[in-house]
Structure 1
Amino acid sequence: MKAPRRPIQAAATWLRRQPPKVKAFLAVISGMAALVLLRAIVHDHDNLFVAAEAVHSIGIAVLIYKLMKEKTCAGLSLKSQELTAIFLAVRLYCSFVMEYDIHTVLDLATLATTLWVVYMIRFNLRSSYMEDKDNIALYYVVVPCAVIALVVHPSTSHHVVNRIAWAFCVYLEAVSVLPQLRVMQNTKIVEPFTAHYVFALGVARFLSCAHWVLQVLDTRGHLLVALGYGLWPSMVLISEIVQTFILADFCYYYVKSVFGGQLVLRLPSGVV
Structure 2
Amino acid sequence: MRSGRKSIHAITTWVRRQPPKVKAFLAVVSGMAALVLLRFIVHDHDNLFVTAEAVHSLGISVLIYKLIKEKTCAGLSLKSQELTAIFLSVRLYCSFVMEYDIHTLLDLATLVTTLWVIYMIRFKLKSSYMEDKDNFAIYYVMIPCAVLALFIHPSTSHHLLNRIAWAFCVYLEAVSVLPQLRVMQNTKIVEPFTAHYVFALGVARFLSCAHWVLQVLDSRGHLLVALGYGLWPSMVLISEIVQTFILADFCYYYVKSVFGGQFVLRLPSGVV
Q: What TM-score do you get using the length of structure 1 for normalisation? A: 0.98
Distance in 1 separating the partners of 2:10 and 2:135: 38
Name 1:51's counterpart in structure 2.
51
Deviates more, 1:191-200 or 1:3-12: 3-12
Shift of residue 164, structure 1, vs aligned partner? 0.4
CA offsets 1:201-258 (integer angstroms, 9 cap, x no match):
0000000000000011001111010000001001000000000000000000000000
Look up the SS of the partner of 1:261 in the other structure. coil
Alignment RMSD: 1.0
Distance in 2 separating the partners of 1:154 and 1:224: 11
Deviates more, 1:4-13 or 1:138-147: 4-13
1:265 paired with 2:265, answer: yes
Distance in 2 separating the partners of 1:69 and 1:122: 17
Name 1:107's counterpart in structure 2.
107
Q: What is the count of residue pairs matched by the alignment?
A: 270
Name 1:242's counterpart in structure 2.
242
Distance in 2 separating the partners of 1:217 and 1:28: 17
Distance in 1 separating the partners of 2:153 and 2:80: 24
1:202 paired with 2:181, answer: no
Distance in 1 separating the partners of 2:225 and 2:99: 19
Shift of residue 12, structure 1, vs aligned partner? 1.2
Within 5 Å, which residues of 2 pair with 1:81-230? 81-230=81-230
Name 1:231's counterpart in structure 2.
231
Deviates more, 1:95-104 or 1:76-85: 95-104
Shift of residue 90, structure 1, vs aligned partner? 0.4
Name 1:256's counterpart in structure 2.
256
Shift of residue 100, structure 1, vs aligned partner? 1.1
Distance in 1 separating the partners of 2:6 and 2:82: 42
CA offsets 1:2-32 (integer angstroms, 9 cap, x no match):
x977211111111111111111111111100
Counterpart amino acid of residue 82 in structure 2: E
1:64 paired with 2:64, answer: yes
Look up the SS of the partner of 1:6 in the other structure. helix
Deviates more, 1:31-40 or 1:133-142: 133-142
Distance in 2 separating the partners of 1:21 and 1:34: 20
Distance in 2 separating the partners of 1:24 and 1:139: 29
Distance in 1 separating the partners of 2:19 and 2:176: 30
Distance in 2 separating the partners of 1:167 and 1:198: 24
Look up the SS of the partner of 2:12 in the other structure. helix
Name 1:14's counterpart in structure 2.
14
Look up the SS of the partner of 2:166 in the other structure. helix
Distance in 1 separating the partners of 2:144 and 2:71: 35
Distance in 2 separating the partners of 1:140 and 1:206: 24
Look up the SS of the partner of 2:161 in the other structure. helix
CA offsets 1:89-114 (integer angstroms, 9 cap, x no match):
00011111111111001000000000
Shift of residue 154, structure 1, vs aligned partner? 0.2
Counterpart amino acid of residue 255 in structure 1: V
Distance in 1 separating the partners of 2:180 and 2:155: 33
Shift of residue 192, structure 1, vs aligned partner? 0.1
Look up the SS of the partner of 1:14 in the other structure. helix
Distance in 2 separating the partners of 1:139 and 1:202: 23
CA offsets 1:138-193 (integer angstroms, 9 cap, x no match):
21111111110011000001111110000000000000000000000000000000
Q: Point out where structure 1 has 5 or more consecutive residues left out of the alignment.
A: none
Distance in 1 separating the partners of 2:183 and 2:146: 24
Q: Identity over the aligned pairs, expressed in percent?
A: 89
Name 1:27's counterpart in structure 2.
27
